[in-house]
């Protein structure tokens, strides 16, 4: 079945139009990622080591150089340390050597420091130098206990190699700051980091790169460090911290961890050639589907005041009493025949080990036959009554899939289909336009309250836009359901080139990353793959893969674990970018 390809063909769209100029001649930059071991509190030695490493990188032809986060101080510092001796103050004379190297080699260098201002405000900062010297700083927004929250708007640096944006370490954990940088026109994002532990950070980075269509370059650290800030000394082993270069399609081009190296631990420089198409140089336009087809009108909850750290994580109002919810995801490749799909659904359901409250089918999981919603009784070819009967006989609170919907004289579009007991099925058009068609609804994501849970529902394409997940989390969603036709069905799927379709591994990474906003998640894609992810309160506590690991999975999810959400606080200038205000 060709699914989405059939939809575009039916609309008279030539798929050759999707062969965008992504292969055009482009500017190439050699990027150096410095993977070093800053000594705790040893500022003079650390700066000397950085001077030597930066010079080595530039001598080897680097155009852009990135150091780790806090490369001048080490990690386990205090506010008093920064104010008294470790902090650098603008114009950062301690970094004059690096500034002069950037000028001499006509290059760009990003250095992670601890900053103290004349008024003794303290920031976790990255300083950028270029061919003419100092350019700008960026400050970490997320708090680490010793510094103030950054208050500098995210910006980009225009270079011959593309526009560069900068984030610091865990500011990439949630999607907002990376998204703002992409919307400001970034082609390349630099991430000084101090992020050790094998806890999936590169998976997050891969998703951030792909959903924004940017190069993502993280420079991390190695070594051990003793933290004495909290009474009993504790030793951090940072040798599993990854430095990585990730391409705009989310593929890791190079990754390095000291503990994986057979050679003795030592400072290391990784190199990666980064190519940005000429069409994007100096141009804010980004052809990535999940950037170019945004619908800010659908993301309004981002601006509310709920779940903000500075306001005590106040929750969204009116939430159902939390409790257990049995969530099922079913994985199969939908057939052209509705009867065949119904047989598959019933056969898989008969293998269940327990009942469920909610069931997620793949996109077009009941039928690929277009539905005319404006006609009386809709289409007789679509198995409405059979799905309704299935829901009511099995005491389901909700079944979700998608259908291809049209109205007389209008184009086809994909819509969510929600089937609930005792009420007629409901259709909700996809939020975002499909490529070259203006047929998205622009409406906010579907949100409904069930016993024990507030539930958000998205089509697979709408889930590619990280703002939809943030909107649902800010609106109080405990559980996000994704019924998807976003998976690539063919190795050279032309819709993959602009990010409308993702390969299955990328989808799984994206689904898991969406739970960073402290929600449970269940998804099923028409490639026959799905997932159920249980969030334990800010981390993944359990996961069931659906497809290769079994075609029906059911998890009991406790919504009380996701009622406290750790989301970003925004300045007005952040919201102006995110909501296109």
What is the predicted pLDDT for the residue at 489? 83
Phi and psi angles of residue 237, each rounded to the nearest 5 degrees, phi first? -100, 105
Q: What is the pLDDT of residues 473-520, one digit of tens each?
A: 999 999 999 999 999 988 778 888 888 999 999 999 999 999 999 999
- Nearest-angstrom CA–CA distance, 488 and 331: 15
* 554-581 burial code (b ≥16 CB/10 A, e <16): bbebbbebbbebbbbebeeebbebbbee
pLDDT at 438: 67
Are the C-beta atoms of residues 209 and 129 closer than 8 Å to each other? Answer: no
pLDDT score of 76: 97
Q: Please tell me the predicted confidence (pLDDT) of residue 4.
A: 30
CB contact at 8 A, 20 and 70:
no
Q: Which residue has the tokens 């399609």?
A: 249
The confidence score (pLDDT) of residue 377 equals: 45
> pLDDT (tens digit, 9 = 90+) per residue, 529-557?
999 999 999 999 999 999 977 799 999 99
Taking the model in full, what pTM does it have?
0.93
| Structural Rg of the chain based on CA atoms | 25
Q: Note the pLDDT of residue 176.
A: 98
Enumerate residue ranges in the chain where pLDDT < 50: 1-24, 376-378
């Amino acid at each position: 079945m060709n699914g989405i390809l059939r939809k575009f063909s039916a609309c008279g769209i030539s798929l050759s139009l999707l062969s965008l100029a992504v292969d055009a001649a482009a500017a190439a930059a050699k990027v150096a990622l410095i993977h070093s071991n800053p000594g705790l509190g040893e500022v003079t030695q650390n700066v000397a080591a950085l001077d030597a490493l930066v010079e080595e990188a530039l001598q080897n032809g680097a155009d852009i150089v990135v150091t780790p986060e806090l490369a001048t101080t080490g990690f386990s510092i205090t506010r008093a340390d920064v104010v008294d001796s470790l902090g650098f103050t603008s114009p950062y004379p301690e970094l004059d050597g690096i500034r002069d190297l950037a000028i001499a080699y006509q290059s760009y260098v990003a250095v992670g420091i601890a900053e103290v201002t004349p008024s003794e405000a303290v920031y976790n900062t990255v300083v950028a130098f270029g061919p003419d010297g100092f350019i700008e700083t960026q400050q970490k927004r997320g708090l680490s206990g010793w510094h103030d929250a950054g208050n500098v708007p995210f910006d980009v640096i225009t270079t011959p190699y593309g526009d560069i944006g900068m984030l610091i370490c865990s500011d990439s954990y949630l999607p907002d700051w990376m998204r703002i940088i992409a919307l400001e026109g970034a082609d390349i994002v630099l991430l000084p980091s101090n992020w050790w532990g094998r806890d999936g950070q590169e998976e997050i980075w891969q998703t951030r790169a792909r959903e924004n269509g940017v190069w993502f370059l993280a420079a991390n650290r190695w070594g051990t460090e003793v933290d004495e800030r909290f009474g009993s000394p504790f030793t951090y082993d940072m040798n599993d911290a990854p430095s990585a270069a990730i391409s705009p399609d989310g593929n890791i081009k190079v990754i390095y961890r000291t503990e994986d190296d057979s050679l003795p631990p030592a400072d290391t420089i990784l190199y990666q050639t980064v190519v940005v198409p000429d069409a994007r140089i100096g141009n804010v336009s980004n052809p990535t589907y999940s950037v170019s087809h945004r619908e800010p009108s659908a993301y309004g909850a981002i601006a509310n005041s709920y779940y903000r750290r500075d306001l005590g994580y106040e929750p969204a109002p009116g939430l159902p009493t939390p409790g257990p919810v049995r969530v099922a995801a079913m994985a199969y490749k939908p057939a052209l025949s509705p009867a065949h799909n119904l047989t598959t659904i019933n056969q898989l359901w008969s293998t269940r080990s327990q009942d469920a409250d909610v069931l997620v089918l793949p996109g077009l999981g009941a039928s690929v036959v277009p539905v005319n919603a404006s006609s009386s009784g809709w289409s007789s070819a679509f198995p409405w009554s059979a799905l309704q009967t299935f829901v009511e006989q099995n005491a389901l609170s909700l079944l979700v899939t998608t259908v291809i919907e049209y109205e007389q004289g209008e184009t086809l579009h994909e819509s969510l289909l929600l089937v609930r007991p005792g009420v007629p099925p409901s259709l909700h058009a996809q939020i975002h336009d499909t490529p070259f068609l203006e047929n998205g609804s622009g409406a906010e994501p579907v949100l409904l309250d069930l016993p024990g849970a507030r539930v958000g529902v998205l089509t697979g394409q709408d889930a590619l836009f990280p703002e939809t997940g943030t909107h649902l989390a800010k609106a109080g969603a405990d559980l996000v359901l994704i019924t998807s036709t976003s998976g690539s069905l063919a190795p050279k799927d032309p819709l993959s080139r602009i990010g409308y379709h993702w390969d299955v591994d990328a989808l799984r990474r994206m689904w898991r990353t969406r739970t960073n906003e402290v929600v449970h998640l269940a998804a099923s894609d028409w490639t026959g793959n799905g997932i159920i992810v249980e969030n334990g309160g800010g981390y993944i506590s359990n996961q069931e893969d659906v497809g290769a690991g079994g075609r029906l999975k059911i998890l009991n999810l406790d919504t009380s674990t996701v009622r406290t959400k750790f989301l970003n606080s925004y300045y007005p200038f952040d919201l102006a970018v995110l909501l296109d205000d």
